[in-house]
């Protein structure tokens, strides 16, 4: 048995700027990744992303989380086997071919995303804090994909790679093309994939300078 106080676990910022406490190690969890998040107004759990081999469940205990979802043209979530092998290929979309949507999850509610489904949760409230428990299984969930199309071959998603000390890059699982993933305006590494305002495309937003970059 492992028993922890969430408050006693050290915090680290998530990819979306939220306050994250990683519970998997303190709980010695073998098969499930567990994170607790607190989101201030405007903060995100993470940018739009999918895991090739991990389902994710979010349980909201305080406030409201708005989840953006993105379904690339050519189909919804990949069948599990296909997702693992082809990295979410969607038939040569440009990254602007797809359908965005939003779903609101309130305190006392939960939401589950299958492997291959692109999602990003935000606290859209003006002055309310949100608390969320996130479960991912299996714990090591295969590769991550962001729905920013490959400029070289048009593949609809790419793999973020941010090895320690190296410039973060986006790597295409189809053609292996590799591009700088930092902000073109300020070189910040805090780039997040989000739905464009009209929900018909995915763009990159810099959390430091606010630059918006089309896929």
- Applying CB under 5 A, the residues found at the interface with Zn ion are 150, 152-153, 155, 172, 174-175, 177, 183, 185-186, 188, 206, 208-209, 211
Helices and strands (H, E) in the chain, number of each type: 1, 17
- Comparing CB distances to Zn ion, the nearer of 112 and 214 is 214
CB of 173 to Zn ion, least distance (A): 8
CB of 5 to Zn ion, least distance (A): 37
Rounded Cα distance between 108 and 93, Å, is 37
Give the Å distances, CA to CA, from 199 to 1, 81, 116, 196: 45, 28, 19, 5
- Comparing CB distances to Zn ion, the nearer of 168 and 177 is 177
CB of 27 to Zn ion, least distance (A): 36
Rounded Cα distance between 113 and 39, Å, is 20
- Comparing CB distances to Zn ion, the nearer of 132 and 206 is 206
- Comparing CB distances to Zn ion, the nearer of 142 and 177 is 177
Do 158 and 48 form a contact (C-beta atoms < 8 A)? no
CB of 208 to Zn ion, least distance (A): 5
The tokens 């739905």 sit on which residue? 195
Do 158 and 148 form a contact (C-beta atoms < 8 A)? yes
């Amino acid at each position: 048995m492992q028993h922890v106080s969430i408050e006693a676990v050290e915090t680290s910022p998530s990819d979306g700027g939220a306050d994250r406490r990683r519970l998997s190690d303190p709980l010695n969890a073998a098969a499930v990744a567990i994170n607790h998040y607190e989101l201030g107004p405007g903060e995100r759990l993470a940018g739009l992303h999918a895991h090739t081999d991990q389902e994710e469940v979010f349980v909201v205990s305080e406030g409201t989380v708005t989840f953006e979802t993105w379904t690339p043209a050519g189909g919804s979530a990949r069948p599990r086997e296909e997702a693992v092998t082809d990295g979410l290929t969607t038939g040569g979309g440009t990254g602007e071919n797809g359908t965005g949507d939003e779903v609101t999850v309130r305190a006392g509610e939960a939401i589950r995303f299958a492997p291959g489904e692109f999602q990003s949760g935000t606290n859209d409230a003006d002055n309310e804090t949100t608390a969320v428990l996130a479960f991912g299984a299996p714990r090591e969930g295969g590769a991550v994909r962001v729905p920013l199309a490959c400029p070289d071959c048009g593949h609809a998603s790419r793999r973020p790679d941010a090895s320690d000390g190296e410039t973060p890059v986006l790597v295409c699982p189809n053609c292996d093309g590799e591009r700088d993933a930092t902000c073109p305006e300020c070189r910040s590494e805090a780039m997040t994939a989000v739905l464009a305002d009209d929900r018909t495309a995915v763009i990159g937003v810099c959390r430091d300078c606010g630059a918006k970059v089309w896929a």
